[in-house]
Amino acid sequence: MKILVTVKRVTDPDVKVKVKSDGTGVVTDGIDYKVNPFDEIAVEEALRIKEKAGGEVVVASIGPAEATKEIRSALAMGAERGILVTTDQPLDPGVVARVLAKLVEEEKPDLILMGKQAVDGDNNQTGQMLAELLGVGQACFASKVELADDGGKATVTREVDGGFDVVEVDLPAVITADLRLNEPRYASLPGIMKAKKKPIKEVTLDSLGVDTNRKVVWHTFSEPPVRQAGIMVPDVPTLVAKLRDEAKVI
């Protein structure tokens, strides 16, 4: 089983970003970059499938040359090799999906695993778009993935409103990971050492011959509406009185 799994380099999800004063973006100075948490879950799932069924896990990323760091951290977890499509230009999910479709065409994986969304753009689009471009099935927001013994299909439990949707999808397919799919492992020290020697192929975005025209262009950034700080109340009776008489919500 050959699995292609994607990792995006994102700002540390636990740091609250601020909007630049000129509105051209968010301030990233001094913020660490990490693997998008949902992608880390996708990597973990790929490794678990490989450990059971055998095969290879290939990690792909698109971004600046620095994104080799995020690929290395997936290699340190146990993936075999990486592909980095380098670019400094802004992309949209459609461009990313077309680039990934090109990689799939070259690599011919049996399964594509991705995070359901990246925690910077919060788009939640790329996996679904990739599935359509490839003409394959999609199983998004997965909380459980079971592969058939012959590797021809997967039964996937999806987290949806009001419960769980269980679907059976033919492989190759695109599966996107939700939070509860697994608990990603920490890279071991030997894993980190080994990862340094694992190959990462770098190709430039322009060399792929993919349409890189965006259909979504980001303009001005602004601060979200700010809430006025409220008051502290000394005890429960005061709180209940305020809710009843002032806020009139109970």
| Residue 234 token pair | 């000394």
Interaction residues for other proteins, span 4-43 (CB under 8 A)? 11, 13-14, 16-19, 26, 38
Whether 170 and 111 have beta carbons less than 8 Å apart is answered as no
Pick between residue 11 and residue 212 the one whose CB is nearest to other proteins: 11
> What is the closest distance, in whole angstroms, from the C-beta atom of residue 116 to other proteins in the complex?
8
Pick between residue 70 and residue 86 the one whose CB is nearest to other proteins: 70
* Stretch in the footprint of other proteins (CB under 8 A) among 59-67, 78-86, 112-120, 188-196: 112-120
Measured N-to-C along each axis, helices 68-77 and 37-53 cross at an angle, to the nearest 10 degrees, of 40
Q: Which of 197, 180, 155, 168 is nearest to 49 (CA)?
A: 155
Please report whether residue 105 would count as binding other proteins according to CB under 8 A: no
Please report whether residue 138 would count as binding other proteins according to CB under 8 A: yes
> What is the closest distance, in whole angstroms, from the C-beta atom of residue 247 to other proteins in the complex?
5
Rounded Cα distance between 204 and 84, Å, is 8
Q: Which of 11, 49, 18 is nearest to 181 (CA)?
A: 49
Count interface residues toward other proteins (CB under 8 A).
85
Burial 222-235 (b: 16+ CB within 10 A, else e): eeeeeeeeeeeeee
> What is the closest distance, in whole angstroms, from the C-beta atom of residue 208 to other proteins in the complex?
18
Please report whether residue 162 would count as binding other proteins according to CB under 8 A: yes
x-or-dash string of contact with other proteins, 187-216, rule CB under 8 A: ---------------------------xxx
Contacts of residue 235, defined as CB under 8 A and 6 or more positions apart, other chains included, come to none
Pick between residue 103 and residue 195 the one whose CB is nearest to other proteins: 103
